[in-house]
Chain A
Amino acid sequence: MTDPEVVILNTGIANTASVIAAFERLGCRVLLTDDADTARNAELLVLPGVGNFSSGMDALLETGLDQVIRERVEHNRPLLGICLGLQLLCTSSEESPGVHGLGVMDASVTRFPAGVRTPQHGWNAVGDGYAYYSNTYRIESIPAGWDGIYSTHGGEFVACLSRGSILACQFHPELSGSWGESLLRKWIRTSVEVSSC
Chain B
Amino acid sequence: MLTQRIIPCLDIDNGRVVKGVKFADLRDAGDPVEQAQRYQLDGADEIVMLDVSATTSGRATALETVRAVRRVLSIPLSVGGGIRSVDHALALLAAGADKVGVNSAAVEHPELVGDLSDRVGAQCVVLSIDAALREDGNGWEVVTRAGTNRTGIDALAWAQRAAEMGAGEILLTSFDQDGTQDGYAIKLLEAVRGVTDLPVIASGGAAHARHMLDAFQAGADAVLAASIFHNQTTTPNQLKSELAESGVEVRMP
Contact of A18 among B4, B98, B120, B197 (CB under 8 A): B98
Q: Is B75 part of the binding interface, using a Cβ–Cβ cutoff of 8 Å?
A: yes
In contact, A176 and B74 (Cβ under 8 angstroms): yes
Q: For the complex, what is the distance from the CA of A15 to the CA of B2, rounded to whole Å? A: 23
In contact, B1 and A153 (Cβ under 8 angstroms): yes
In contact, A17 and B93 (Cβ under 8 angstroms): yes
B94 CB contacts on chain A under 8 angstroms: 15, 17
In contact, B3 and A136 (Cβ under 8 angstroms): no
Q: Is A29 part of the binding interface, using a Cβ–Cβ cutoff of 8 Å?
A: no
B199 CB contacts on chain A under 8 angstroms: 117, 119, 121-122
A50, A123, A152, most chain B CB atoms within 10 A: A123
Contact of A17 among B70, B120, B168, B169 (CB under 8 A): B70
Q: Is B36 part of the binding interface, using a Cβ–Cβ cutoff of 8 Å?
A: no
Q: Is B109 part of the binding interface, using a Cβ–Cβ cutoff of 8 Å?
A: no
Q: List the one stretch of B12-20, B121-129, B135-143, B175-183 in contact with chain A.
A: B121-129
Q: Is A187 part of the binding interface, using a Cβ–Cβ cutoff of 8 Å?
A: no
Contact of B121 among A50, A121, A122 (CB under 8 A): A50
Q: Is B208 part of the binding interface, using a Cβ–Cβ cutoff of 8 Å?
A: no
Q: For the complex, what is the distance from the CA of A52 to the CA of B166, rounded to whole Å? A: 13
Q: For the complex, what is the distance from the CA of A172 to the CA of B4, rounded to whole Å? A: 17
Q: Is A181 part of the binding interface, using a Cβ–Cβ cutoff of 8 Å?
A: yes
In contact, A119 and B74 (Cβ under 8 angstroms): no
**In the complex, number of A-B residue pairs with CB atoms less than 8 Å apart:** 104
Known: A119-B122, A123-B2, A123-B251. A21 touches B71 (CB 8 A): yes
A132 CB contacts on chain B under 8 angstroms: 45, 75-76
Q: Is A43 part of the binding interface, using a Cβ–Cβ cutoff of 8 Å?
A: no
How many whole Å from A127's CB to the nearest CB in chain B? 14
Contact of B1 among A22, A125, A134, A177 (CB under 8 A): A125
B40 CB contacts on chain A under 8 angstroms: 177
In contact, B76 and A175 (Cβ under 8 angstroms): yes
15 A–B contacts, CB within 8 A, in A order: A15-B98, A15-B120, A50-B120, A52-B121, A117-B221, A119-B168, A122-B3, A123-B2, A123-B251, A125-B3, A130-B3, A134-B76, A134-B123, A135-B123, A153-B2
What 7 A-B pairs have minimum CB-CB distances, sorted nearest first? A17-B96, A123-B251, A51-B121, A130-B251, A119-B123, A134-B123, A121-B199
Q: Other than the known A17-B95, A25-B74, A178-B74, what 20 A-B pairs have Cβ atoms closer than 8 Å?
A: A17-B96, A21-B71, A21-B96, A50-B120, A117-B2, A119-B123, A119-B169, A119-B199, A120-B2, A121-B5, A122-B2, A122-B4, A122-B45, A123-B5, A125-B1, A130-B251, A134-B76, A134-B98, A175-B76, A177-B74
